[in-house]
Structure 1
Amino acid sequence: MKTYHKSNRCKLFWVALLGLMVATGCGSGKKTGPSAEGGEHESSVIRLTPEQVEANGLVLGKPQEYLFSRDVTASGYLEALPRNYHAISVVLGGTISELNLLPGDRISRGQFLFRISNPELLQIQEDYLTSTALLALHQDEYERQKLLASENVTAQKVFVKAESELKTTAARVQALENRLTLLHIDKEQLKNGRMVSSVAVTAPISGFVTRVDAGNGQYASPDTKILEIVETSPLLISLQVFEKDILHVREGQVVRFRVPEATPGILEARITKTGKVLNENRMVNVHAVFKPGSELRLLPGMFVKASIITQSFQAMALPQEAIIPGDGFSYVLVKTNPGQDSWVLEKAKVTTGYQDQKMTEILPESKLSLSDNVVVGGAFSMAHF
């Protein structure tokens, strides 16, 4: 009797175990049911009602051929071009007068800056008038001695002396004329007897006064810097590029940059010069020229953040918001029922490549075409499906 009951208990145990295994196997099959947001999904397929689409803010778009740019990051400062910077000094020392400029004043080329006075100016003008008179005298004597020498009336050494005096006087007159030109003294007015004791100093370029280092009544020697003038258009962008990046940089490449303190958007320039040596920080100087519009108030010395475009290529791309990171892979959501109010979205694996600030490259091995309708807005809200 005991043996019989024990046998029945064993049979019941094995029947219960078999039933549990069957129930477990059935429960592990594919589930179909409502999601946390009310949508229905089957593994890689998501079904959404119009209300769910609107609630999640989903937006459709298509992959596009996009021009990517590989770049090198650099930073630096704005500078004035060497030809657009002038330190104003005087050729002949003297006392400054009529200097009424302040930093920030706009100056045009040839505009009066200040006046310089020196008694030596009168001596230079006197020497010029005397030398020009002697030149005329020596010219006549030379012509006379030349004629006499040709007829063997006078000794050859007398002719040679007349020729030497003519050349010496002509050289002195030429030197004095050059000094008068540097001093901006009109030779024709001087020949008419109009001598001056002061000369006007004018601007050699157009630009802005950036410094005034002297004042009225002060004596200025030729090595005294009285003021500075800088033209701010075009400007030179002086960048520092790391050693590892310099081999990718060359003249003619586009530089996209911004000045954080002054420009809300991105500006463009082109590289004109690249340095040939490394500095103490293992970096190379790279220069680009930029011509700002009148609406921009850019000044030499402002800090610049830049990207040098070293390579451009075109490829299929999607906005970064369309790419959903998965477990070891990325995917996008493709709408497979065009024209319907309800959306059927299918998860499509993609292989991504280069990425810039807006777009991500979709490599050819991805099963995606330019005609596919892809969720490009609100895709991350679907990541939990």
Structure 2
Amino acid sequence: MFVHPLRGSRARRFLNVVTFAASLTALSAHGADEFAVTAAQMQSLGVKTQKLAAPGPIEGPAYPARVVLPPRQEYVLSAPLPGVVDQLLVAPNDVVQAGQPLLRLVSPELGDLQLRLMEAGTKGKLAQQTLQRERMLAAEGIVPARRVQEAEAAAASNAAELRQAEASLRLAGMDAGSIRNVAGGGALQDALVLRARAAGTVAEVLVRTGQRVPSAEALVRIADTSKLWLDVQVPVARQAQLPAKGAVITIVGRDAAATPASLGGRVGDDQTLTLRAEVTRGVKLLRVGEFVQVRVPFASAAAGFAVPIAALARDGDKAHVFVRTTKGFIAKPVTVLASAGDAVHVSGDLAAGQEIATSSVIALRAAWQGKGGSN
């Protein structure tokens, strides 16, 4: 049977491994799992090493997420009275400040409310004047004390009517200065100027100029995008590995990050749970409603070392890494905590700063097992 000969770099690598394994008998051993490897042998085999960093999390797999606005970051401006939209003062995507005018609403009921306030103000003044006169007459003994009590009751009743009329106009959206002006007998306003309650961005204008709207009709939606959430869809099987609060969830392709906030209790039709995360960095790089990819770290990631998956040497259900020593390498057993892509997270008798082999691990494993370091 014809066997195709080994050629090129593969042939040279194979001969190097054979030569390396044969030369182990001439090298001294330094422990049950330590074996000698010279610098020349490392170069011929293509063995590369890297230093272990301090224990820390590794990026988990990527999951889809949607950018959402927290409910408390949005409000809708509604029509306090039935009327006609006289003028729109903002457009979608405009940035507004608290108290900024948004639109003018012409309403017949506005005139009625102002008239009630004006009448209540006039009655209140007359009631106070009457009360003062009755008190003077009672002090001189001209009128009985009962007249003073009746005047006090009338003044209190008129004061309550005045407060009610003022409250009705405040609920309608009239500012305090205009209310005082009307109560003092000033000119009545012909339109109601509706203002923003808080700063934000105009997400949507729900009406048009000239449109007749009933009371409580939604007019403008304002969103404060300074705080955002991510709704991450993660498989149910992954819920035991999800990180706790304080972990860093990275957003692929954006200089942005989030931290876990809560985990939904309902499983979707696609067998996923919703992990809600609060964006902590890069809010301005995200838009409400867009879909992004995020990487969720493993819950156990903080307890071990992140190493390339190529650094692992497996022997049945056991895993080892080869740590560089002064004489060569020593095989250290490790426990795989989690894996994602080309990286794994391991724990074991390791320390930050140690060098581990990251390439030609198969050759090192053959040499180690040939020395008797594996059962």
Q: Is the TM value for this pair above 0.5?
A: yes
User: What secondary structure is seen at the aligned counterpart in 1 of 2:67?
Assistant: strand
Cα offset, 1:138, TM superposition = 0.4
- Rg bigger for which structure? 1
Q: Deviations over 1:120-147 (max 9, x none)?
A: 3223223222221211110121233344
Match of 1:376 in 2: 358
Q: 1:226 to 1:270 in 2, by over 3 A?
A: same
* CA distance in 2: counterparts of 1:58 and 1:188, whole angstroms: 85
Cα offset, 1:68, TM superposition = 4.4
The one of 259, 264, 267 equivalent to 2:257 is 267
State whether residues 75 and 306 of structure 1, in contact with CA within 8 Å, keep that contact through their aligned partners in structure 2.
Answer: no
Match of 2:48 in 1: 59
Matches within 5 A, 1:183-332: 183-185=173-175, 186-190=178-182, 191=184, 193-238=186-231, 252-258=245-251, 263-264=253-254, 267-271=257-261, 287-293=276-282, 295-300=284-289, 302=291, 305=294, 307=296, 310=299, 313-315=302-304, 318-327=307-316, 329-332=318-321
* CA distance in 1: counterparts of 2:76 and 2:336, whole angstroms: 53
User: What secondary structure is seen at the aligned counterpart in 2 of 1:36?
Assistant: helix
The one of 91, 103, 109 equivalent to 1:120 is 109
TM-score by length of 1: 0.69
User: What secondary structure is seen at the aligned counterpart in 1 of 2:166?
Assistant: helix
Q: 1:239 to 1:188 in 2, by over 3 A?
A: same
* CA distance in 2: counterparts of 1:70 and 1:297, whole angstroms: 21
Match of 1:29 in 2: none
* CA distance in 2: counterparts of 1:220 and 1:98, whole angstroms: 13
State whether residues 249 and 308 of structure 1, in contact with CA within 8 Å, keep that contact through their aligned partners in structure 2.
Answer: yes
The sequence identity of aligned pairs, in percent, is 18
User: What secondary structure is seen at the aligned counterpart in 1 of 2:14?
Assistant: coil
Is residue 352 from structure 1 mapped to residue 331 from structure 2 by the alignment? Answer: no
Letter in 2 for 1:231: D
Cα offset, 1:77, TM superposition = 3.5
User: What secondary structure is seen at the aligned counterpart in 1 of 2:285?
Assistant: coil
Match of 1:38 in 2: 16
Match of 1:131 in 2: 120
Letter in 1 for 2:258: E
Cα offset, 1:269, TM superposition = 2.3
Is residue 177 from structure 1 mapped to residue 166 from structure 2 by the alignment? Answer: yes
Q: Deviations over 1:52-73 (max 9, x none)?
A: 837x653222445413479899
* CA distance in 1: counterparts of 2:186 and 2:243, whole angstroms: 60
State whether residues 209 and 230 of structure 1, in contact with CA within 8 Å, keep that contact through their aligned partners in structure 2.
Answer: yes
Give unpaired runs (5+ residues) of structure 2: 1-11, 25-34, 368-375
Is residue 166 from structure 1 mapped to residue 155 from structure 2 by the alignment? Answer: yes
* CA distance in 1: counterparts of 2:194 and 2:321, whole angstroms: 71
State whether residues 20 and 41 of structure 2, in contact with CA within 8 Å, keep that contact through their aligned partners in structure 1.
Answer: no
State whether residues 59 and 295 of structure 2, in contact with CA within 8 Å, keep that contact through their aligned partners in structure 1.
Answer: no
The one of 60, 83, 94 equivalent to 2:83 is 94
State whether residues 108 and 207 of structure 1, in contact with CA within 8 Å, keep that contact through their aligned partners in structure 2.
Answer: yes
Cα offset, 1:257, TM superposition = 4.4
State whether residues 258 and 281 of structure 2, in contact with CA within 8 Å, keep that contact through their aligned partners in structure 1.
Answer: no
Match of 2:131 in 1: 142
Cα offset, 1:81, TM superposition = 2.4
Match of 2:348 in 1: 363
* CA distance in 2: counterparts of 1:330 and 1:98, whole angstroms: 73
User: What secondary structure is seen at the aligned counterpart in 2 of 1:268?
Assistant: strand
Q: 1:62 to 1:279 in 2, by over 3 A?
A: closer
- Structure with greater proportional helix content: 2
CA RMSD of aligned residues (A): 4.2
> Greater shift after overlay, 328-337 or 242-251?
242-251
* CA distance in 2: counterparts of 1:328 and 1:254, whole angstroms: 30
> Greater shift after overlay, 233-242 or 201-210?
233-242
Match of 1:103 in 2: 92
Letter in 2 for 1:354: L
State whether residues 331 and 347 of structure 1, in contact with CA within 8 Å, keep that contact through their aligned partners in structure 2.
Answer: no
